Amino acid sequence: MTRDGIAGGLLGVHAGDSLGATVEFKAWSEIRVQYPDGVRDIVGGGPFNWPAGHATDDTDLTRAVLLAYLEPGADLVRTAADHMVDWYEGAWPGRKPGQRPADVGNATAWGLRKYVRTGDPRDAGAGRGKAGNGSLMRCVPTALAVTDRDRRVRESMEISAITHDDERCTVACAAYNEIAAALLAGASPADAVTEGRDTAAALDAPVVADAIESGRAMRPAVLAASGPGDAFPGGAGGYVLESLTLAVAAVLDPRPYPDVVIDVVRVGRDTDTNGAIAGGLLGIRDGAAAIPSAWVAKLQFADEFTAAAETLATRSPSGPSFR
């Protein structure tokens, strides 16, 4: 299960990202008219006219963190930051050298530019009050690569803070990765969610713990049918805690990966990132084999992520500990 779960986590992010890219920024009501049954295949398009299966910033930055774990230097956080800068400055697959990404979040751009100026990845965040989901979307490689809990929590927060150093973001990443690590170790979704909530509480971030608890009461199918409504005052439009809540609701949904991810995307607004964040947990829960093969065949980094999963599983065949 560990190898399949690791591959599921990576491919789950990628597939959720690529599925949601087609309707990024569209409101629930718009998606309902255009896709009454939801986006059910990876077809590309969207506001940036993505080729089908092409990585957006969600998958690209997940890859940047993953590369740090596959080829760590003396300072893993710095290595991750350097790969993010490569992405930002155009040294990246699928782009001409020097060509900037089509889509970059404001906090991500701010943090990476600051890192380039200061050379310190631990003093490069966008600052308090910037609580977007741009670090949560890329954090899962830490859960898949690190078996020691204390190190996993620390690195989750430090890698978040390269760009997103608001406590809501750093603790959300740590809590999400404890959910992911628990799933990878064989915990039930309900127990894994409890692990994430307890992590947030132990880090003295009750607002993050509350966001996780809120996910227990939500049903993606209901949100997809009725809209985000009062459940998400921001319309699931990029606030880190709304994305975390939606991912918790998704992983607690007993339906298989594709059904849940399709409904997560139907909620609207930040559809690629919400799909990626929820897709990572669902992919670990269900394994890579649960992701439709027709989707995987289109993913830009499918082969690379599958090979990376093999490498990570070989390094830690017993899987992570989470207690």
320 is a domain residue: no
300 is a domain residue: yes
Q: Give the domain range for residue 7.
A: 2-315
- 56 is known to lie in a ligand binding site: yes
What's the 3-state SS for the chain?
CHHHHHHHHHHHHHHHHHHHHCCCCCCHHHHHHHCCCCCCCCCCECCCCECCCCCCHHHHHHHHHHHHHHCCCCCHHHHHHHHHHHHHHCCCCCCCCCCCCCCCCHHHHHHHHHHHHHCCHHHCCCCCCCCECCCHHHCHHHHHHCCCHHHHHHHHHHHHHCCCCCHHHHHHHHHHHHHHHHHHCCCCHHHHHHHHHHHHHHCCCHHHHHHHHHHHCCCHHHHHHHCCHHHCCCCCCCEHHHHHHHHHHHHHCCCCHHHHHHHHHHCCCCHHHHHHHHHHHHHHHHCHHHCCHHHHCCCCCHHHHHHHHHHHHHHCCCCCCCC
- 272 is known to lie in a ligand binding site: yes
151 is a domain residue: yes
- List, run by run, the mean pLDDT of 10-residue segments along the chain (323 residues): 93 98 97 97 98 98 98 91 97 95 95 96 88 98 97 98 98 98 98 98 98 98 95 93 98 98 98 98 98 98 98 76 57
- 58 is known to lie in a ligand binding site: yes
- 270 is known to lie in a ligand binding site: yes
Cα 232 versus chain centre, distance: 18
Residue 272 backbone dihedrals phi, psi, to 5 degrees: -70, -45
What is the model's pLDDT at position 321? 59
Q: Which two tokens stand for residue 101?
A: 């990404």
196 is a domain residue: yes
What is the model's pLDDT at position 165? 97
321 is a domain residue: no
97 is a domain residue: yes
Report the domain count for the chain: 1
Q: What is the CATH number of the domain that holds 280?
A: 1.10.4080.10
7 is a domain residue: yes
What is the model's pLDDT at position 73? 77
What is the model's pLDDT at position 239? 97
Residue of 90, 281, 264, 100 whose CA lies nearest to 183: 281
323 is a domain residue: no
